[in-house]
Structure 1
């Protein structure tokens, strides 16, 4: 079953030289903002595409959840220089749940917007990222976003009932043609719907990975897309009972200081951000456990986003004892930190999906004691980056290898032809422009399809112990190999480019660097 439209061609595109300004850690976000801003200012049509529908056997539901903490948590004592307010005080946790919903469910609510309202918050956040946050540029960025992508909805139905377990829907006539998919889902739902907590990257938000999350949800998984208030999100609205809404914009090292008035180092700031992200992950786990334990009605009443009316019927239907943590870029670094020391009550993660772990987001945790799948985009592996005195690629590879030596089946692979934003929604909205500006050589639908298939195979392994697809292959590339085409193709296992077959299909798109096989 294909989650996206068929790729018209898998012929590699010519790699173009990228201007240095677009090569920063914010590159893909800056690219799409610059594209939209240019189109807006010069009246050029960007023609953003709608987000594709999901392809799994289930329809997909979505619920925004913002829940106050029992008591605020000050994660780090750093404070803003101007206001002296705590920079890393956690009062509420905000995430969107993507989940399998019942067939033919009708929502009374409009679909969520890809750029959440008020759009002015995101617009001002981008202006601040660009260091041009004044009255005029705030209006310009907001106007550009509103005119060009403000109308784009996320396809998931809002606040519809959670689907029953797969075994209860086998007889529905409309899905008889996907019974094979349903049979797969039955195997992963033995302890309830599996739960994935996903952490976004720098200059991103909870709405940047909706299609990746929605595809997993359409296959029986529940995905909580977090929105971090650690300074990495362009802008987020914090809602609390009895208090006016608070806009929390992006912030960086120069804006904060210690309680003694001293500047923070970059490493100290990154540590505070990662600790804050870990606390938000833990609070998300807490809320999901409350729902599963039968307190869904209370969670709904506490939800500042006024969604989740069906939570009272979610009792006992989530596997909250064995969750999965995932993340992209800065979020991948945060996900690795959440795996520190192995599963615990606050962090009950039996595995991790790590996508392009950050190169400028602090040290990578190597104390991992559960299986992990680490995926590098082509651009992440191909570009040499010095990381705490070593090559970033080598450090990531060694972390995964050491985890295998500890007896934890783990994988590290490069998705060939892809770029850093390939797993996000951005290429789906602007496929041609994103391919040109990021140097991606693979059709954007095929790139995200490959990410989905490998992720699904890893989640299947965590549930059943069976290795499928790419996970069955041996590691043949200790280092990234530029090779030819998308990668280095070598005849093996009796198959080659002429005969094709499953080996050729995976080798065309992947290089495996670490494998337990």
Structure 2
């Protein structure tokens, strides 16, 4: 695990029993292809390499837009802050073939990219999940320029969320292909042996998870694909979704929100997914901000974190632990896992001093 520019800021390693490896897979170069970072339980190796958190320098301009910083200054600033940051996983490590693993497909937020949520993905992999963190090709990722300044926002975002869901489903299709023992052509030519993943995934136990725009993607995915058995939506931005799909979502959903980001209209749309028969849960992390979920929250000090709203009034590690543990408990419950994640069941109901059951936002009863 690397430090960042000499500072003691780093992405936390997984807390589970498994060592974690990661690799990239790209199938095709067009919007019809698939691109994701795979995190998985791996074998311990004497020689290990931790990959850079920012895959290439081209992402710095996208990060500048994401954080609303002038692009001209961004490369020097981001190279200083993040240039030496590493992901706490072994690059192209050998897969650990000991059992079948449940699967999570992860969708990033607007302006983000496939490695930005590595703290979440590494934790899930350390707990025995195989996680595919999709890099979206809908022009919402950091390395893709946008050219939609004059288009109405809802049609654009609704089109994007549909494409994002399709990309998540294509990533899942690729994992089905790999699990069946069939070869896929990885245009990145990484040395990882994909054949070792044959029959390694429990494809009856699949969840979809995402943050912000990725949270909206979770709901779109659940509508489109019944192979997803449940969804976890982190501080979801509901705007891109057409409410006509809400009655079509039949799987359990867990909304994990920050205290500082949400507003009445957004929560009201989440509440439209409430069901008397399908589990729909919501909790709010006290003192958390919208960027308490991506890795940024660990990679800046308190001052910069507050200036750029990357940290809230809660310790970043505590906020992440609460979110991850609540997620694991929810996944055990709705994927029927035989693990010990039910020790955190109380978090699903917001029973912790640092959690709020439901939301901190006041909604008028007449609006519900």
> Does the TM-score normalized on the shorter chain lie above 0.5?
yes
Distance in 2 (alpha carbons) for counterparts of 1:511 and 1:450: 12
| Structure 2 residue 44 is the aligned partner of structure 1 residue 199 | no
Partner in structure 2 of residue 287 of structure 1? 174
Gaps of 5+ in 1: 1-35, 37-44, 70-88, 167-191, 236-248, 255-262, 386-390, 477-505
Determine whether 1:116 maps to 2:61: no
Q: What is the rounded CA distance, in whole Å, between the counterparts of 1:454 and 1:316 in structure 2?
A: 28
Contact 1:55–1:218 at 8 Å: present in 2 too? yes
Name the counterpart of 1:424. Answer: 294
Match among 87, 94, 98 for residue 39 of structure 2: 98
The residue number in structure 1 matching 2:203 is 320
2:42–2:96 CA contact under 8 A, matched in 1? yes
Residue 138 of structure 2: which of 204, 222, 230 is its match?
A: 230
| Distance in 2 of aligned mates of 1:450 and 1:267 | 33
Structure 2 counterpart SS, 1:60: strand
1:442 matches 2:314:
yes
Structure 1 residues 397 and 165, CA gap change in structure 2 (3 angstroms): farther
Specify the alignment match of 1:253 in structure 2: 148
Q: Deviations over 1:63-115 (max 9, x none)?
A: 1111128xxxxxxxxxxxxxxxxxxx61421100111112x22456x422111
Normalising by structure 2, what TM-score? 0.86
Larger Rg: 1
Q: From 325, 350, 359, give the equivalent of 1:453.
A: 325
Matching of residue 375 in structure 1 with residue 256 in structure 2: yes
Provide the rounded CA distance (Å) in 2 between the counterparts of 1:313 and 1:105: 16
Task: Report how many residues are paired.
Answer: 349
Root mean square deviation of aligned Cα:
2.7
CA displacement at 1:264 relative to structure 2: 3.6
Partner of 2:228: 349
TM-score (norm 1): 0.62
Q: CA deviation at 1:410?
A: 2.6
8 Å contact 2:63–2:112 — kept in the other structure? no
The answer to whether 1:49 aligns with 2:12 is no
Q: Retained in 2: the 8 A contact 1:48–1:430?
A: no
For the structure 1 residues 308 and 368, does the alpha-carbon distance in structure 2 shift closer, same or farther, using more than 3 Å as the test? farther
Unaligned runs of 5+ in 2: 360-368
Q: 1:393 Cα deviation (Å)?
A: 1.2
Task: Tell me how far 1:319 sits from its aligned partner.
Answer: 1.6
Q: Are 1:159 and 2:92 an aligned pair?
A: yes
Instruction: Deviation per CA, 1:374-427: give whole Å up to 9, x if none.
Output: 11111134xx34xxxxx221221231x22xx2x222311111221111121111
Measure, in 2, the Cα distance between the counterparts of 1:291 and 1:474: 33
Q: Is the 8 A contact 2:253 2:279 kept in 1?
A: yes
Residues 28-43 of structure 1: pairs in structure 2 closer than 5 A: none
Q: Which residue of structure 2 lines up, in the alignment, with residue 495 of structure 1?
A: none
For 1:92 and 1:285, locate their aligned partners in 2 and report how far apart those are by CA, in whole Å: 12
- How far apart are the structure 2 equivalents of 1:151 and 1:341? 39
Tell me how far 1:433 sits from its aligned partner: 3.1
CA-CA distance at 1:460 after TM superposition: 1.0
